[in-house]
Structure 1
């Protein structure tokens, strides 16, 4: 969080934290997670009401620190009778996109996704079982990073019509 220089940490350095009491904030949480190692980024998911959503993502500077956090803090009693869950964050770089016209070709879908979102690396399209010239109406879009995928997801939901 403070004084980081160099590229962001590699994949596998982030943990997912669940079952956080809704009235807890960074001031209480960060010191607990700092015990496991140096924190690169702490993201507590929030409701518009101001309460947290009960989960957070903590990115450490190394994979070892992330593993340490899981060992130390999974099932940790954060408050009397309240135990948090800590596990590896699957930093998914893929998004599922549905409702794609079946006539659209992979290149057209890729082009459209690059227009509306950033960091697109590839599009995975499956051909229809009955007509190989058509797609199945959905695709998976691969992004350069989990962050790019998350930003795209935020931009695309809910109910954005692309095609």
Structure 2
């Protein structure tokens, strides 16, 4: 009996040490925008609403018992392949749809608009610069009156940059316009990553979740290069791809080698993101993950 108690005490000690190790994994992010522009905040809200349908549409577990019974006497291989093939086709179609949307950096914010400006007038102004994917003139919900700003998504980043040059400080109907690239979110923070996962293993998991993965930063442990520090940053092609993957990774069934990850937005800088470990150390929010 004394030997049994000694083993239990040793196990408890090892668990306590493991919890302390996890508690030390306090990682930080930076909201580098820092802008109080109500327009940009509203833009991010609208973009998330637009791509609400990017959430996963369910898994095979959602199939009805009747559907299961109808396949009970068929070939077992067909039972597995048919639903899987169907899901894969739906996923491929959704991925293609997300990748067909304009890339990050192709939307501009236009402020200082006359309150009586019409959407068609604004469209005419912007189409002289380049092809438009979408235009949203923001209006008061109660009065329907223009709020004096809009968001215009062009087909490419190059046209968006051209728009900022041509519309910034432009005189339009007695008003001086403001124009800048709209910083929609396209970068995710992933916490509680198993420290023994290699970069290749982590990349394979992430790329299977959703499309548009451009840069993966699995932050390495400087003391033990063969291990990671338990968190990562992922940069996506556009907001739609990032939000689709974010929703899938927030699903309770999604695991990283048995671990439930922490998933949140990591705001990009106003300039091209700095993909370096030093950039990961800047503070936006504090995340503490404990195992109980």
For normalisation by structure 1, the TM-score amounts to 0.58
Instruction: Identify the residue that residue 128 of structure 1 maps to in structure 2.
Output: 221
Flag structure 2 segments of 5+ consecutive residues without an equivalent: 1-99, 255-260, 262-292
8 Å contact from structure 1 (residues 16, 56) kept in 2: yes
8 Å contact from structure 2 (residues 188, 242) kept in 1: no
Return the alpha-carbon distance in structure 1 between the equivalents of residues 206 and 107 of structure 2.
29
Q: Does 1:58 align with 2:153?
A: yes
Q: Does 1:98 align with 2:190?
A: yes
Return the alpha-carbon distance in structure 2 between the equivalents of residues 90 and 69 of structure 1.
15
Higher helix share: 2
SS of residue paired to 2:191: coil
Return the alpha-carbon distance in structure 1 between the equivalents of residues 242 and 108 of structure 2.
18
8 Å contact from structure 1 (residues 96, 141) kept in 2: yes
Q: Does 1:110 align with 2:242?
A: no
Closer, same or farther: CA 45–106 of 1 in aligned 2, 3 Å: farther
Provide, for residues 95-137 of structure 1, a one-character-per-residue CA deviation record: whole Å limited to 9, x for no partner: 2322142412212221221221113355232211232222123
Rg: which structure is higher? 2
Match of 1:152 among 238, 241, 263: 241
SS of residue paired to 2:233: strand
SS of residue paired to 1:152: helix
Match of 2:169 among 75, 82, 93: 75
Return the alpha-carbon distance in structure 2 between the equivalents of residues 100 and 151 of structure 1.
24
State the 1:32 CA deviation. 1.7
Flag structure 1 segments of 5+ consecutive residues without an equivalent: 1-7
Higher strand share: 1
Closer, same or farther: CA 119–67 of 1 in aligned 2, 3 Å: closer
Report the number of matched residues.
145
8 Å contact from structure 1 (residues 127, 135) kept in 2: yes
Return the alpha-carbon distance in structure 2 between the equivalents of residues 13 and 153 of structure 1.
14
Provide, for residues 41-86 of structure 1, a one-character-per-residue CA deviation record: whole Å limited to 9, x for no partner: 2343879x6998x5524326794x55553333113455766x5422
For normalisation by structure 2, the TM-score amounts to 0.37
Q: Does 1:17 align with 2:106?
A: no
SS of residue paired to 2:231: strand
